[in-house]
Amino acid sequence: MADLVYIDGDFVPKAEATIPLLDHGYLYGDGVFEGVRVYKGRVFRLDPHLDRLLFSARALAFQTQGMTRESLRDAVLETCRRNDHQNGYIRITLSRGTGLGLDPAHIDLKPRLVISTQQLALYSSRLYEEGLTMITCATRVPSPDAIDPRIKGTGKYINNILAKMEANRVGAGEGLMLNAQGQVAEATGDNIFIVKDGVIATPPTSAGCLKGITRQAAMELSEQLNVPLREANLTLYDVYTADECFLTGTAAEIIPAVALDERPIGTGRPGDVTRRLIDAFRAHTGEMGTPV
């Protein structure tokens, strides 16, 4: 099977794929990215991912003239076809350009687009049945008045990496990140939802969380299941006293969380609403998507 990487219009073997030493994404984390899933030969919610990539690039003033959702879609689908990638993960990365120095005025501002495919499983199948444990991390999310959380930028994720390392040190499945005001923002790589008295709640993006694509899918599925949902600022108290909790993300999909800081959430087992959403999401991904 081919294992090719798309780099600025060319397909090269993954073992030979390189970027210039002075790529701004490599030097300064000056890039944006998307992680996308393909299920049974259909790329899940590809256009929303591509829109977010372009919106992030626009917000950071990348020079993306001529780069469209359609051209990106063609590149992603062709990468999947050449790799016979029917199920798995797709990574799309766009950097500002090439050159040494922070000042974009002094570099080549042609963005560099890289697309690769691989298999990715964040959690074991057991954790989807039993749920994962979480801790509250000392590392906070960046303030929204410093960088808008709707921008999926590469450099921003150093905080998430440090928080994940905190969780790893104590053997927790995930780390919960707060904002500067002490409100719940997100997990290190996922959005968070709680269920209380039959109502789902999730933090708004203004709390410092990413406007996740799987987050949006979960919100739409909850409506189809007639489960009320609201966006609201949450504190640790709300998570500690919730009946259920689950996380959403492209890599994680939908996974139950059953404990935070050694406190069981609800019964300490995945709840009924969470299980219904997981089943609905799996059915949804098996039916929807852009054909490869």
pLDDT tens-digit series, residues 16-30:
999 999 999 999 999
Give the pLDDT of residue 1.
Answer: 56
Q: List strand residue ranges (DSSP E) for the chain, in order.
A: 4-7, 10-13, 31-39, 42-43, 88-95, 112-118, 132-136, 174-178, 184-187, 191-196, 199-202, 229-231, 244-249, 253-260, 263-264, 290-291
Backbone angles phi, psi at 15, to 5 degrees: -65, -20
* 92 and 17 co-located in one domain: yes
Whether residues 92 and 177 fall in one domain: no
Task: Based on the fold, state whether residues 54 and 190 are members of the same structural domain.
Answer: no
Whether 10 shows a pLDDT value over 70: the answer reads: yes
The pLDDT of residue 286: 74
**Domain termination site, one of 118, 147, 164:** 118
Assess whether pLDDT exceeds 70 at residue 131: yes
For the chain, the average pLDDT equals 96
CATH of the domain at 236: 3.20.10.10
Domain-terminating residue out of 91, 118, 145: 118
User: 202 and 181 in one domain?
Assistant: yes
What is the end-to-end Cα distance of the chain in Å, rounded? Answer: 16
Strands 31-39 and 42-43: antiparallel
Do 192 and 157 lie in one domain? The reply is yes
- Is residue 292 in a domain? no
Same domain, 136 and 281: yes
Give the pLDDT of residue 59: 96
Cα gap 265→141, rounded to integer Å: 23
| Residue 144 contacts residue 206 (beta carbons within 8 Å) | yes
Residue 107 domain boundaries: 4-118
Kindly state whether residues 174 and 254 are assigned to the same domain. yes
pLDDT confidence band for 14 (50 / 70 / 90): very high
Judge whether residue 55 has pLDDT over 90.
yes
Q: How many domains does the chain have?
A: 2
If pLDDT is split at 50, 70 and 90, which confidence band does 31 have?
A: very high
CB neighbour class for 20 (10 Å; exposed up to 12, middle 13-18, buried from 19):
middle
